[in-house]
Structure 1
Amino acid sequence: MIQAVICYHNNLYIHVCFRRQILENCLKWSAITPTCSDTLSCYPYVKNDPFIITDTPHVFFAGNQPTFETRVFHGSNDIQVRLLCIPSFAQSNSCIALNLSTRECYEISFQNETPQLIQ
């Protein structure tokens, strides 16, 4: 999703904060794939579009990002959505732990013999 939006940007190197902004914009636009079918293979749907967000999620994320980034999006009516840019485990040697009750998240690094909690 984020990579597809970046295709329309004239700068080949997109700063990480801009990736977080793309994720937030997709939430505001209520579109999981805003560039579909221009940059993503997809067929048009006749009755409804399954890539439209109809209910506001509690967590909205994109994987395979360069680094771990997170923030809380504050929408209308006191709605809060945890936004997550999650890096590839193969490249970062880390995973993300998300507490579903509090929506707090932590990066856990496996670069050493003992897993390290990164705050």
Structure 2
Amino acid sequence: MKTGPPRRDCPVCGAGDFAYLEGRRGTRAARLCGRRAIQLLPREGGEQPSLPGIAARLAGEWEVTVNDYLLRARRDGVTVSLFRDGRAIVDGMTEETEARSLVARVIGY
């Protein structure tokens, strides 16, 4: 899956801050039974995502819909649903590591 060029505003790409690899931040993951989907739960105390801000950043590269409750982004057979509380469901993947990596790159956590 193509993710585009590195972003200067990305903590990892731009600043070299590997908070997730160092265990300072991260998510819990669970494979959803009967589906090709992974649910990612943010660690407690994490910040709530700005759905409109993320939608604006993804527009043009992803097919994005957003409302008051969630953002849905589709591309290359994968759908990422991001909820206001920070939960994300990655539909179209079965490997937790791939789902975590995708969410870290496109959502930023």
TM-score between both structures, scaled by the size of structure 2: 0.26
Higher relative contact order (CA 8 A, sep 6+): 2
TM-score normalised to the size of structure 1? 0.25
In our comparison, the structure showing a higher alpha carbon Rg is 1
